[in-house]
Amino acid sequence: MKAAVFKGPENMETKEVERPEIGEGEILLKVFNSAICGTDVRIYTGKKTKDVRTPSIIGHETVGEIVDIGTNVVNYKVGERVGIIPIIYCQHCDACLNGLENACENRQAIGYEFDGGFAEYVKIPKKAVEKGNLLKIPDHVTYSQAVITEPLACCINGLRKSNVQLNDTVLVIGAGPIGLMHVQLSKIAGAGKVYVSEIVDHRREKALQAGADEVINPEQESLQDKVKEFTEGKGADVCVMAIGVGALVNECAGVLKKCGTLNLFAGFSKGEWSQVDPNLIHYNELHVVGTTASTRADNRNALSLIANNKVDTEVLTTSGYSLNTIEEAITDVMYGTGMKSVLTINE
Ligand SMILES: [Zn+2]
Ligand SMILES: [Zn+2]
pLDDT digits (tens, 9 = 90+) for 115-124: 999 999 999 9
Whole-number Å distance, alpha carbon 154 to ligand 1 midpoint, is: 8
AA letter at 130: E
Between the CA of 90 and the centroid of ligand 2 the distance, in Å, is 4
Query: Residue range 63-90: average pLDDT?
Result: 97
What pLDDT is recorded for position 271? 87
Give the residue extent of every domain in the chain. 2-148+313-344, 155-290
* Three-class secondary structure of residue 87 per DSSP: strand
Q: State the distance from the centre of ligand 2 to the C-alpha of 297, rounded, in angstroms.
A: 15
**pLDDT tens sequence across 176-192:** 999 999 999 999 999 99
Query: What's the average model confidence in pLDDT over 135-163?
Result: 98
Nearest ligand, CA 108:
2
Task: Tell me: pLDDT of 49 over 90.
Answer: no
CATH class of the domain comprising 155-290: alpha beta
- Whole-number Å distance, alpha carbon 64 to ligand 2 midpoint, is 27
CATH no., domain 2-148+313-344: 3.90.180.10
Residue 174: the pLDDT is: 98
Q: Residue 293 Cα, ligand 1 centroid: separation in angstroms?
A: 8
Q: Among residues 240, 312, 252, which one has the least CA distance to residue 277? A: 252
64, 31 contact by CB (below 8 A): yes
d(CA 292, CA 283): 27
Ligand 1 centroid distance, CA of 209 (Å): 23
Q: Rounded to the nearest whole angstrom, what is the distance from the C-alpha of residue 150 to the centroid of ligand 1? A: 6
What average pLDDT does the segment 99-121 reach? 96
